[in-house]
Structure 1
Amino acid sequence: MRTIAVVTGTRADYGLLRGLLRAIDDDPQLDLRIIVTGTHLTDSFGRTVSEIERDGFTVAAAVPIWSGDDSALAAAADVGRALPEYARALADIGPDVVVVLGDRLEAYAVATAATILSVPVAHIHGGELTEGAMDDALRHSITKMSYLHFTSTPEHRTRVIQLGEDPRRVFFFGAPIVDILETFEPMPRRDVEERFGIRLPEPTALVTFHPAIMDVAPAEHLVEELLDGLLAVDELHIVITGSNSDIGTDAVRERIARFVSEHPERVDYVESFGQRGYLSAMRAAAVVAGNSSSTVLEAPVLGTPSVLIGDRQKGRPIAASVEVPEPTAAAIAAAIRRQFAAPPLADPESPFGRPGFAARTAATLRDAEIPRPPKKSFHDLEQGDDHGR
């Protein structure tokens, strides 16, 4: 039996990992151990570890990381303090592989601890670009600390190989969200309204905004322009969800809280919908706005038009249903109006592969040859190299 530790730090990554967790848990040859960290353990972000437990999973280790200070210095210090805690959790669990997703500081710190302990790392969503955030540096660093790679597009697979990873260890199994949307059954609009105490009239904008320190403008300026742009669209109802625990999040959350209180007749706020609630609200919405990855990933697959603000997602595949206006209130309002007027996409296409990510990834975690320590050789590209396709 192979022990697989899976790390989750936010409501967003847990939603993407849930299918894989089920597939690992259901495999008699795999022993699932879940490490919970990040905002899952923070009251101000909804303490979403409860969602994991309600789904019937057992938490093997809980590692608090955030001090509550959203400055860059505090974030660096928090990661430094968390590193030995992650190392102790991994030493106690003794996994054969630790799975991390994405590019957040939690994933980076866990991958660092695992590398020092010679625990093989499997990385999901490597090879991607988000030029408006420091995430690129973290993501590519995690790639170099990982032994197995599960990428969401062929282009992302190519990029991981460009970073020197052996093509035999880099798999294009698609994005986890494709599995989720394949079997997704949305809650009726009225059920979403009643469960979360919100209104979803026509038209409604579903809004999520996270600060990004390398964006085209400071987060406080971008969120101000976004909120002013939304307000400028007559008859538009606005539902806003909570921001991540990124550097600079306090100012963004304070501005959003003030906006909600100033416009109660037009604005509702939900800290955390959970995955099904969020996707159901997205299906009911006329437009998705903000800079969350859901504007370029979930929304296009669901067929909901979206308006992407700033550079936080710059470099990701952008579908025809996504508009990226100049980050001014007037341009944002005009983009939202255009999205209302555009005809719906009859058959939304996804660049993120076909369903089956969870099953294929669990089978690879079970069957792949994974040495301990996970010694690697740098894969040099040669002229005419097909990048392992």
Structure 2
Amino acid sequence: MVGVLDVPSVPQSKRIYDCVEHSLSVPRDILAITGIRSEYDILYPALDAIQAHEELSAGVVASGGHVADTHGDTISYIQQNGFEVVDSVAYLLRGDDKRMRAKGVGTLVASLTEVVSRESPDILLVAGDREEPLATAIVGNYLDIPVAHIFGGDPVWGNADDPVRHAVSKMTHIHLTACADHRDRLVQMGEHEFRTFDVGNPGLDRIRTVPELSREELSREIGFDITEGPFLVLIKHPLSSERTAAGSQMETTMKALADLSIPTVAIHPNTDPGSEEIIDVLHEYQNYDFVSVHENFERDLFVNLLRYATALVGNSSAGILEAPFLSLPAVNIGNRQTGRTNAGNVVYVDHDVDEIVEAVQRLTDDTRRADLLEQTDTTYYGDGNSGPRIADVLANIDLDTELLVKSNRY
């Protein structure tokens, strides 16, 4: 495959022209970069639609949590889905020192530069606000390869994610937003409308298509009895601005759930600083009868857990972005997710045992639960058909100088 790096010592304008000429080949090669299971599950419907599109082909670079033993080593999961993993990049540095994340980004940029240079894709594809989108946006800009970004324009308060996401938006060339509000925000930030597309949250596609398991089948698969009655799903991530409090915040959460004694399926957090303290607290409670602790789940099992759960508890973005589609209430504990639009299904509480207990009890009451869900907009973040929309955008957008050379509208 011929790419821009095969034309050394050529003026910048000529290099862009060569990139455009290369991109006119069919199929267009789309290279997705993914670093964690939850973000891959957002990318999957887009990759599946790309793979099925006659004018596109898909490849994947797996990094971060996908290649870390502590997070389940999920490369095989990507391969089982039928996607070619063209390379893997290990950049996570052990420890909760906040310097480790910054150093890791540098390692990722250096390694990803070599992979992208070798593969010479037509478009790079990323999602969210973690290290992978940031590193990919840097690499794509310097190598004159357009970057498509899912979930730009989505605000979130309290850590590095918000400025990183918006920085990525200013460096990426194609915006694939989860809702109209996000698209409007990008336009307000100076992004041109011709490069912004409201496609919906692709994570909903898989929710719509995942085969339904019975509660009995689900109980057997996870080794925990949730065949009858209410149960909770717990996912709680650290917040970088409150990293030193991650352990105590998790302890408060677990004390509240222990008081409730409702069967709870707990899932390990992401790889951000503070995650080790959260995992330590989970392990302290793993022998309690009310809780079953897991590193992660395959997407089919996770979706079915959410289908039957009484509530999603913690601070996962799934409570904001995916739970409404399932008419699933969520209890969001603490500041993480503050600033994102609540489609109506989320109850916000502080790290306070009594507040958490009261919120969960509210959602186990059929009448109060129904009142909450009646005001929920189940399609605010999409209708479950985003993947094909993303594939069509990537197949049809003009990969020309206007796309590659960015300028603000103002």
Same fold (TM over 0.5): yes
Contact 2:35 2:64 in 1 (8 A): yes
CA contact (8 A) 1:132 1:216 kept: no
Q: 2:231 aligns with which of 183, 189, 204?
A: 204
- Matching residue's letter, 1:376: K
Alignment correspondent of 1:366: 395
Please state if 1:354 is matched with 2:380: no
Give the corresponding residue for 2:302.
278
Q: How many residues align?
A: 377
Cα RMSD of the aligned pairs, angstroms, is 1.7
Aligned to 2:112: 86
- Separation (CA, whole Å) in 2 of partners of 1:115 and 1:287: 42
Aligned equivalent of 1:218: 245
Corresponding residue for residue 102 of structure 1: 128
- Deviation at residue 305 of structure 1 after TM alignment: 1.5
State the partner residue of 1:292: 316
Cα 1:251/1:202, change in 2 over 3 Å: same
SS in 1 for 2:234: strand
Matched-pair contact (CA < 8 Å) for 1:4–1:32? yes
Change (3 A) 1:216 1:320: farther
CA–CA distance in structure 2, aligned partners of residues 362 and 79 of structure 1 = 28
Provide the residue aligned with 1:50 in structure 2.
76
Aligned-partner Cα distance in 2 for 1:107–1:243: 19
- Asked whether the equivalents of residues 69 and 75 of structure 1 are also in contact (C-alpha less than 8 Å), the reply is no
What is the CA–CA distance in structure 2 between the aligned matches of 1:267 and 1:205, rounded to whole Å? 9
Aligned to 2:405: 375
1:190 to 178, 192, 216: 216
Q: Give the secondary structure class of the aligned counterpart of 1:207.
A: strand
The amino acid across from 1:159 in the alignment is R
Distance 2:35 2:134 in 1: 11
- Structure 1 residue runs without a partner (length 5+): 381-389
Q: Is 1:145 aligned with 2:185?
A: no
SS at match of 1:218: helix
279-288 vs 84-93, which deviates more? 279-288
What per-residue deviation string (whole Å, max 9, x for no partner) do you get for residues 238-294 of structure 1? 110011001121111111111213x1x111011111211111111222111000011
SS at match of 2:286: helix
Aligned residue identity for 2:362: R
Q: Supply the distance in 1 between the matched residues of 2:310 and 2:170 (Cα, whole angstroms).
A: 40
CA contact (8 A) 1:325 1:331 kept: yes
TM-score, normalised by the number of residues in structure 2: 0.88
Aligned position for 2:64:
38
Unaligned runs of 5+ in 2: 1-25
Three-state SS of the structure 1 residue aligned to 2:328 is coil
- Structure 1 segments, 4+ long, off by >4 Å, are none
Counterpart in 2 of 1:8?
34
Deviation track 1:41-78 (CA, whole Å, cap 9, x = no partner) reads 11111111111111122111111121222321111111
1:319 aligns with 2:319: no
Quote the offset at 1:216 in angstroms: 10
Query: Hey, what's the Cα distance between the residues in 2 that align with 1:35 and 1:141?
Result: 22
Cα 1:216–1:329, aligned 2, differ >3 Å: closer, same or farther?
Answer: farther
Query: What is residue 129 of structure 1 aligned with on the other side?
Result: 155
- 37-46 or 186-195: which moved more? 186-195
Q: Is 1:119 matched with 2:119?
A: no
Greater per-residue helix proportion: 2
In structure 1, what is the Cα distance between the partners aligned to 2:319 and 2:242?
16
SS at structure 2 position matched to 1:35: strand
